[in-house]
Chains A and B, each alone.
Chain A
Amino acid sequence: MSAVTVADGSSDLVVDARGVVKSFGRTRALAGLDLQVERGEVHGFLGPNGAGKTTMLRILLGLLRIDGGTVRLLGGDPWRDVRSLHPRLAYVPGDVSLWPNLSGGEVIDLLGRLQGGHDPARRDRYLELFDLDPRKKSRAYSRGNRQKVALVSALATDADLYILDEPTAGLDPLKESDFRTCVRELRDEGRTILLSSHILSEAEALSDRVSIIRDGKVVEAGRLAQLRHLTRTSVTAEMATVPQDLDRIDGVHDLAVENHRVSAQVEPHGMDPLMQALSASGIVNLTCQPPTLEELFLRHYGPAAGQSDDA
């Protein structure tokens, strides 16, 4: 955990949630969730559907009240300090629903003004970037276009923290890459972005740090580089001769030897012994792939999640 906490409470944390509990009737949506988002970072908030991501974001927006734990947002209390906090926020809901008989342009301008005013140049730039026709009535928009309306409005807002709940769920891949550009620009301006997603490549491409949530709890948090230490590198090697006893090396899993081709999943501490063994036998070609977030996910949410998959 690399969260920076300053003793006087005015920390460098934009979001500081500790032990958050939230229940809906008998369903426990959040069971002691910790989430720390640092100023100026893109924070990926990852988890499968129903893990509690949206619940946490709605708590940050003061829409839901927590049953336990503490939440600080930009140094304030998200439930009480709506007036002082919301002018510093921009939000894109996961399931964008707009007034059916307002045009997209009307919605964007309305939300902008409710938020204290858009920069017209930015509004027009994002409209063009996302290729959105602002004259259409909202009910005539596809899901992706409704999402774009919310995105344009949020991105054109001058905010400290952007809370984006699965912002690209309805976008086509081309617009997705434009979206990534926008997010990087915002970060380069020193703004903070909290991005929830179950699309791993998106979070992987954008996030400085991630928190992985499962069943209402954060099960993993940190820089991607750190998290990768938790899992295995996929190694494939073309060998001149195949060395013996590779399977005896500690930290080497799923070893497969086929003719002169060796493949294995390797834990960090097994990497050095494996490389020495391989290079002693003459490597012709070697491919090492870092673990993707898909693999991280599989570890946490796959069938064997929570127990050692060596068994």
Chain B
Amino acid sequence: MPDTLAGSGTLLRLAIRRDRWLLPAWVLGFAAMAGFSATATADLYPDVQSRVSAADAINATPSLVALYGRVYDPTSLGSLSLIKLTAFGAALVGVLMVVVTIRHTRAEESAGRLELLGAGTVGRDAPLAAAIVLTFGSSVLLALLTAAGLVAAGLPVVGALAFGLGWAGSGMAFGAVAAVTAQLTTGSRAATGLGLVAVALAYLLRAVGDMPDSGPTLPTWLSPIGWTQQVRPFAGDRFGLVLLPILFSATMVSIAFWLRSRRDLDAGLIADRSGPAHGRISTSWGLTFHLNRGVLISWAVAIVLFGVLLGSLTSNVSGMLDSPSMQDFFRALGGEQAIVDAFLAAEFAIIGSIVAAYGIAAAGHLNTEETAGHAEVVLATRTTRLRWATGFFGFALGGVALLMLLAGLAVGIGHALDVGNTAMLGELVLAGLARIPAAWVLTALTLAVFGWAPRLTGLVWGLYAVFVVLVELGAFWNLPSWLLDVSPFVHSPKLPGNAGALVPLGALTAVAALLTALGYIGLQRRDLTAR
């Protein structure tokens, strides 16, 4: 082993020790999610006939193809039951691996802990090597456990393995992308951000590439998430395509090591510019604004693009009305407008869950500020805890509201461009605004946990994942309604198309207010965490 890799084994053990709860929990969560979906679909579509019509309906609906991809074998139970999870799950696995990779590379470096280790017998490349072995290893473990989950649900072994490997490929590819972004920026948040942008871009590419009926086009083949789908588990099981993410990861890892060899510790390839000698920030609110505005702007741009894309796809729903059996089905549901409304409402549900993640991250910034030792400096001045926390928390609430307003406008504009009139614009903006209170509940929950047990702030992400799964898949899995009611997202009014939404909105807002009050009380009473 070359000197630059000395100590990799020790670092790997350290990384496993640090992630001994988090990583297994996520990996098991993914495997369980896949298994549940398979079981539920088997109950929902007991015969081939029902599966084929469901699969045809999905394949004929561009907005669903853009969101989830195609069902490549309408007769296959596996292909149908995992349609929602193939691309979406691959993106989530990608996000997880980006976070894990950065956590063990750039985050350690900018926290100064690598410096501490670098003085021991740890080679320059060892931290990167350990992080890559950890992400690749957990990707493979994820593949095997997911396959086992699917087999337990009664699906064929070969297809289950293909599905698991497809997910693992995405995990490895985005872990390797994060290994590169970790070399580019000096801050870990920026490195994570770049990695997540890569995941979003890959998802968008495959959405565009999957649209033509003739089959996947070039954009799909440029996207690691597209590769995962094209393995086509339970519909051909093209194992050879797993080579694509492996080759891609190998290339990215080589680039990462090459970049690492060309830079100093603590340096990035994107160099730091000097700042002003005199500052203009003069309040704790100004500081919050300065620290968070860049992230909010990126989110706003992403949400607007995503919203316009989704809005412009919805009119295609009427294309499904071509088949006579579908026409009966839709008539029963309330006609074409009701179907368009239902699709738009489903899109707002997804955007609402995504924006809730912004709320959690923005409110969670309080914890980052505290553990980094920045809060101590601010709180030693005249700034009270209340004012300090209100800056970050208020920004999180305001950011959520702004993003949902933009989402409503973007979907409305996309829809208007598509159908040629702005009749629905106002209604769609309202639909966006109606998703705010549920996202606020998650934002306020973050503050509540931070107020009482700052070390557990990260657990809110786990709850968030449960809430999203409950609203997206809970009904599909036939879960009892009391369990579904736990998720705040379930109570968001399904606009456009439904009236009488004020009561749940009021209730969600009241819960958010209660959690906020709880959080402030805790924060006023507890010790500040030592660095």
Contact = CB atoms under 8 A, between A and B. Distances in A.
Interface of A: 24, 54, 58, 61-65, 82-83, 86-87, 89, 91, 93, 95-103, 105-111, 113-116, 134-137, 139-140, 150, 163
A135 B380 contact: no
B469 interface: no
A105 B272 contact: no
Contacts of A109: 278-282
Contacts of A150: 377
A97 B377 CA distance: 8
B421 to A, nearest CB: 45
A242 to B, nearest CB: 52
A114 B284 contact: yes
Interface in B7-34: none
B379 interface: yes
B384 interface: yes
B113 interface: no
Nearest to A62: B379
Interface stretch (B151-159, B331-339, B523-531): B523-531
Contacts of A140: 272
Given A58-B530, A63-B527, A97 B374 contact: yes
A101 B383 contact: no
3 nearest interchain CB pairs? A103-B275, A106-B279, A97-B373
Interface of B: 110, 186-187, 266, 272-284, 286-287, 290-291, 372-374, 376-385, 525-528, 530-531
Nearest to B186: A139
Given A63-B528, A103-B274, A139-B187, A83 B279 contact: no
A136 B276 CA distance: 8
Contacts of B527: 24, 63-65
A46 B266 CA distance: 34
A111 B373 CA distance: 14
Nearest to B378: A114
A61 B282 contact: no
B186 A103 contact: no
15 contacts: A61-B379, A62-B379, A63-B379, A64-B528, A83-B384, A86-B382, A91-B380, A93-B376, A97-B531, A102-B279, A114-B383, A134-B278, A136-B274, A136-B275, A139-B266
B283 A113 contact: yes
B198 to A, nearest CB: 22
Contacts of A91: 377, 380
B144 to A, nearest CB: 39
Contacts of A62: 379
Contacts, number: 125
A63 B275 CA distance: 31
B172 to A, nearest CB: 30
Contacts of B385: 82
B381 A111 contact: yes
A114 B527 CA distance: 21
B277 A103 contact: yes
A250 B274 CA distance: 67
B275 A105 contact: yes
B3 to A, nearest CB: 26
Given A54-B530, A61-B379, A137-B273, 12 more contacts: A61-B376, A89-B380, A96-B377, A99-B287, A103-B274, A105-B278, A106-B276, A109-B279, A110-B287, A114-B283, A135-B277, A136-B275
Question: Which of A93, A106, A115 has its CB near the most chain B CB atoms (within 10 A)?
Answer: A106
Contacts of B384: 82-83
Contacts of A135: 274-277
A137 to B, nearest CB: 5
B374 A98 contact: yes
Contacts of B278: 105-106, 109, 134
Contacts of B281: 102, 106, 109-110, 113
A98 B186 CA distance: 14
B187 A101 contact: yes
Nearest to A86: B382
A105 B372 CA distance: 20
Contacts of A99: 287, 291, 374
Nearest to B190: A101
Contacts of B376: 58, 61, 63, 93, 97
Contacts of B373: 93, 95-97
A58 B380 CA distance: 9
A100 B186 contact: yes
A26 B525 CA distance: 19
A276 B219 CA distance: 100
A57 B64 CA distance: 59
Contacts of B275: 101-103, 105-106, 135-137
Given A105-B275, A114-B283, A137-B274, A100 B381 contact: no
Question: Which of B186, B278, B282 has its CB near the most chain A CB atoms (within 10 A)?
Answer: B278
A73 to B, nearest CB: 12
A24 B274 CA distance: 41
A110 B282 contact: yes
B365 to A, nearest CB: 12
Contacts of B380: 61, 63, 86, 89, 91, 93, 163
Given A93-B377, A97-B374, A139-B110, A83 B382 contact: yes
A65 B284 CA distance: 23
A87 B272 contact: no
A95 B376 CA distance: 10
B390 to A, nearest CB: 14
A71 B291 CA distance: 35
Contacts of B272: 137, 139-140
B531 A114 contact: no
Contacts of B372: 97
A293 B373 CA distance: 31
Contacts of B274: 103, 135-137
Question: Which of B276, B277, B278, B281 has its CB near the most chain A CB atoms (within 10 A)?
Answer: B277
A100 B187 contact: yes
Given A97-B372, A99-B291, A99-B374, A114 B381 contact: yes
Given A102-B275, A139-B110, A114 B528 contact: no
A102 B286 CA distance: 13
Nearest to B383: A114
